[in-house]
Structure 1
């Protein structure tokens, strides 16, 4: 419970929310779904800003990106027809797996999941990292500008030290969001690059029971373009663990010519070599050694499935192109 909470703000405009979150005299935090925040025992939080009226719950796409508003709930993501098609349904699958409770999925948001980080225990974070997703963050800012008198060639009005209020917006990779995001920055959107037509994905997890938090999960994404593995992504996550990509394995697969689906034995050998130096964190419910042993088999199944789907989709898309 937030025992020291003295202010509750229902923001109607994003600028109002940013102004409140940027205060230095009162510790103010955003309230999204509330599934994590309202259970905190943090006596330093004095005010919350409810984000429900900011029109940040949407899913849309264009030629380059899929856009998901930060207030979009996990249940909406699990059910959205666009997400069931995008990247062969990876985001919809991961959103559904992130919580066994529909009640929680109806409240928890994608922005709140990313802002909470490891404590969210959400499988969705791993999938976003595998898809190279970026979080669009915004903050109110006070910018110092020096308008000097200019030069003899280009004279100007001398107004040094002018200060104005403005907004600052930037994109941060979901894989490094917890390190790079500043305290007063608000996550307003998640942008995911459009995958190639010949794209295959897979998401797998290990848990004590089907409804438990994942002890280890893995998300794989493979793109085949012009007969080659153009982009390969492999990310691991799990309980109290930040998602991590295995770039060594990704780099070894990217650029290879595709003749037929990769041999299972060769893939497992590649994974054993690539994961041999990886150090998984330990947790009270799972050891680093257990995660390391499981990682090879879990990644092999996920990559093999993603590769097979990518092969099939690339053949279908190339065939459609010839017909057209």
Structure 2
């Protein structure tokens, strides 16, 4: 519970929300779905800004990328027909797997999930890293100045308390979002690029039960051309584990024939780079052993899907 909460703001415009979040005199945080924030015992939070009326719940596309508004719920992502087809359906699958409770998925948002980070225990974070998604964030500022009067050459009246409002928008890779995000920046949108037609993606996870948080998950995205790996992305994640890509394996496979022999050789050569953390649920060594099997499974499935799609003309690759 937020025991020291003294202000509740229902923002109707994003600029108003940015100015409230940018205040220095009172700690103010964004309220999205509330599934994580309302359970915290953070006595320093004094104000929240409700984002429900900002029009940030949407899924759209253009010729180059897919756009998901920050207030889009996990259940909406799981149910959206466009996302069930996009990237082999891994976004819809990981959104569904991120929580076993439909009540939570109906409230939890993709922006809130990203803002919470590893504490959200969401498989969706790993998918966003593997699909090379970017997060659009905005920040606002307000400056008050006193303008002096004019001169004989340039006459004018003195004005006090003139307020200048400014805002800044930038993109951050999902892979480095937690490191690069600045305080008081508001997540606005997630952008996922479309890839070539001969592209495939796959998702797999290991958990104590089918409804439990993933001890380890893996998402692969593969692009092939004439039977050769052209571009490979493999990301691991899991409970209390920051999603990360296996860069050595990606570099090893790119340019190699897309077959099981080279896939196994790449895994054997690069798995030493994978050092997952240990916690009370699972050891790092168990994650590492499981990671070999998960990586082989998702890479093989993504490769097969990419090769099948490369045989059929298509407008968009994922």
TM-score (norm 1): 0.89
Q: Deviations over 1:171-213 (max 9, x none)?
A: 0001111111111100000000012111111100000000000
Aligned twin of 2:243: 243
Task: Give yes or no for the alignment of 1:308 onto 2:270.
Answer: no
Given that residues 268 and 296 in structure 1 are in contact (C-alpha distance below 8 angstroms), is that contact kept between their aligned partners in structure 2? no
Aligned twin of 1:98: 98
The counterpart of 1:286, out of the listed 267, 282, 289, is 282
Give 1:227 shift. 5.0
Aligned twin of 1:40: 40
Distance change (3 Å), C-alpha of 1:170 and 1:226: farther
Alignment partner of 1:182: what SS?
coil
Given that residues 27 and 46 in structure 1 are in contact (C-alpha distance below 8 angstroms), is that contact kept between their aligned partners in structure 2? yes
Given that residues 111 and 189 in structure 1 are in contact (C-alpha distance below 8 angstroms), is that contact kept between their aligned partners in structure 2? yes
Distance change (3 Å), C-alpha of 1:313 and 1:166: same
Give 1:88 shift. 1.3
Aligned twin of 1:155: none
Give 1:42 shift. 0.3
Task: Tell which deviates more after alignment, 79-88 or 38-47.
Answer: 79-88
Q: Deviations over 1:217-263 (max 9, x none)?
A: 0000001245542221000000100100001111111233x5xx512
Aligned twin of 1:217: 217
Aligned twin of 1:274: 270
Aligned twin of 2:123: 123
Q: For the residues of structure 2 that align with 1:20 and 1:163, how far apart are their CA atoms? A: 15
Structure 1 residue runs without a partner (length 5+): 145-161
Query: How many residues were matched structurally?
Result: 298
Output aligned runs, 1:150-169, within 5 Å: 164-169=164-169
Aligned twin of 1:180: 180
Give 1:113 shift. 0.3
Q: For the residues of structure 1 that align with 2:183 and 2:280, how far apart are their CA atoms? A: 29
Distance change (3 Å), C-alpha of 1:141 and 1:227: farther
Runs of 4+ in 1 over 4 A off after TM superposition: none
Alignment partner of 2:211: what SS?
coil
Aligned twin of 2:259: 262
Q: For the residues of structure 2 that align with 1:75 and 1:163, how far apart are their CA atoms? A: 41
Give 1:272 shift. 2.2
Given that residues 22 and 140 in structure 1 are in contact (C-alpha distance below 8 angstroms), is that contact kept between their aligned partners in structure 2? yes
Structure 2 residue runs without a partner (length 5+): 145-161
Given that residues 19 and 140 in structure 2 are in contact (C-alpha distance below 8 angstroms), is that contact kept between their aligned partners in structure 1? yes
Distance change (3 Å), C-alpha of 1:313 and 1:140: same
Task: Tell which deviates more after alignment, 218-227 or 83-92.
Answer: 218-227
Give 1:164 shift. 3.6
Task: Give yes or no for the alignment of 1:139 onto 2:139.
Answer: yes
Give 1:51 shift. 0.2
Task: Give yes or no for the alignment of 1:52 onto 2:49.
Answer: no
Task: Tell which deviates more after alignment, 135-144 or 96-105.
Answer: 135-144
